[in-house]
Structure 1
Amino acid sequence: MSQPLLRIPLHDLHVNMGAKMVPFAGYEMPVQYALGVKKEHLHCRAEAGLFDVSHMGQLRLRGKNAAKMLEMLVPVDIIDLPEGKQRYAFFTNDAGGIEDDLMVTNFGDHYFIVVNAACKTEDIAHLQAHLLADVELEVIHDRALLALQGPKAVDVLATLAPQVRDMVFMDAVRIPLLGQECYISRSGYTGEDGFEISVPTSHAATLATTLLEDKHVEWIGLGARDSLRLECGLCLYGHDLDKTTTPIEASLLWGISKVRRTEGERAGGFIGADVILSQIEIKAVDRKRIGLIGQTKAPVREGSLLFNADGEQVGVVTSGSFGPSVSIPVAMAYVTPHYSVIDTVLFAEVRGKKLPMTVTKMPFVAQRYFRGQ
């Protein structure tokens, strides 16, 4: 028998707000509210959306060798990560594939790590298996995770904590909101300016309700979160990233810190480094992640096969939707490198028809992270 679905702390609040709850990564999660996916998407782009992402795993890593240990598992510069800063990272395997992507924050006395819900059991085991003698891993069970995203997000959150205006993209602080210490990063997964807020579970409903009292804020479900991240060219683990896909194939070279991939004592040293660094050096992979826009109005979904003009299969779509902000179908796909050139026309098979799509640069919608004046 399948395992019963888990519930996030604010489950009842979502139901009372009219959320449609669906299974996702072992949890009952709100996929949309009364506004519907399209209006939620556009609201987040124009004002501020509140997302509940409490299904994700929150961890603390402590010890003087915690950064050294993490650098054994991720191709990212953790040792020189300044206090109060956050970085995107990914766990790699022996074949160079991506086991999960994650966020790492240096809070001085510990590293705060957020991992994907579907991978968190494996991620915790992975970390535990590589713990150094003086490093301690703590799995956090008493915090919810909210994301406030959109151009009005900073104005809304500043009413509770004016100092958030001074933060820039990937800054992180521990400050009180309504009297309870929260972990706040100026980041998110919509491409918009915004914040992710780790809040004590006992305080989560109060904080969410207070934020929703602002006229600019609406609940946003997983449906719009997916279309928002896709428009901004952001990968979703289990779809655009997986254990068989290397960071180079996924066009994530930017996610491998320079100090970990060029000559020097800290180059390499992470799991799968030989494979990944070889791909960087020879500048050759068997497939490449690309962006596509449709030449018709029909959306092209994950799993659609891609063909060249001669009818030969050359790739597959890994994420696809109609982009509400751009009013055209958008998709991410993996293709053989020859077909990754901008303006190449490919054909996606949808219900027996081959629909033309054009390879284009990503993101489809410009990212609007706040990096300072």
Structure 2
Amino acid sequence: MNGDGRTRARLLAFGDTGSTFGGTFTLCRRLAALAALLLLVLAVGAAAPARAASTTNQSQCIGHHPQEYVWYTSSCTGHDEPELDPVSTKAGSAQDLTWTVVLPTDGTTRVDAVGPTFWIGGTVTDPNSRFGQAFLELQFYPNSVVTNCASGGGYNVTYSANTYSACSPAWEVSKTGNSESAAFNAMLTDSATGGPLLMHAGDTITDHQYVTRAADGMHITVTDVTTGHAGTIVLDTQTHGPLMPAFSEQKLGNALGWGLVDDAPNSLVWEIGHTSPFVTPGSQFCLPGSAAKPPCYSYDVPTWLGFQPLQIKGVTFADGSVARSWSVVSDYGGRAEVDQSCGAANYGTPFCSYPWYSFNSADNAFTYGGDYPGTKDDFGQALQFQQTKSCPGPRGLNTTYCSTVIR
């Protein structure tokens, strides 16, 4: 067959009706349609909500601090989780709430120095976990671009000054072996690009956690109000089903069954007692009093005061009302942990102070770390946290730390 014949045969394979011109036209139309379809698929993929991760490689992993009988898997560690909770008895207040925060900014010290992550999260249902409950943490990583959110609950990041990105591990505890692992983890992706949603220091962020009529799992929509970029994660899993809010009301006592605190279902936490991911060893468990190998800047208030703080502007519920009541709790007893490691007589010396929540009138926001300029009320500093377990839990009386209502 000559060259024209070979060309004609190829065109006929694409559905030519007989003429070379007609075949060329049909080929062009089909290629154009294929290209349009490909662009549509890519666009839908970029805009689709993120779901569970499939990769297992992880270099960092910060789990949820559980009761003593629980142990970590996947090389994860957990430590100290001082939290701030909005409190409400309104029906549905734990199922639809929007946090508004302003991201911290590096100064004379870097934000990641005091710990690798802060998170916003809450108790969700999980039929495969103890008490039928897992715990969601939307983990924000300071000075970091996340490159992987692993199925084990961990993550990989690269350094980028004053940049934030996020993963969303949901932690479960085995009903038989009491091991803590991730039931879910996904990267927070930018709906416009499909890559990680990159937020920046000083940006105002909203984190809307809610359910839909589809009952396909908790939805998390993060919007960077400053840039207009946004992304959504849906807590829907193949093996556990949809992970839904475990409680209706955002009230104290509606607490995670395998947790250490008697709190409300949803909270904001700065994960302390770990090193920066960008030192050696990275994201290492550390204790108060440690000034070397590795230094534990989490427990050094002057380090916190070296950067501009996280501003927690407030929480809005589905009906448009805002949180008026707030509580705090630490799962290590606040100052009690520092006194145990440093000795009570040394409290307040370098690496021997416990950071606290304050209300800042200049920013009209809660902050965490210390008394930043503009602080109106620091609620007793570290003493805002109850130092002994005096609240009940599933394991009996005096097995959890009570929350302190500060407003």
Whether TM exceeds 0.5 here: the answer is no
Larger Rg: 2
Normalising to structure 1: TM-score of the pair?
A: 0.27
- As a proportion of its length, which structure holds more helix? 1
Normalising to structure 2: TM-score of the pair?
A: 0.26
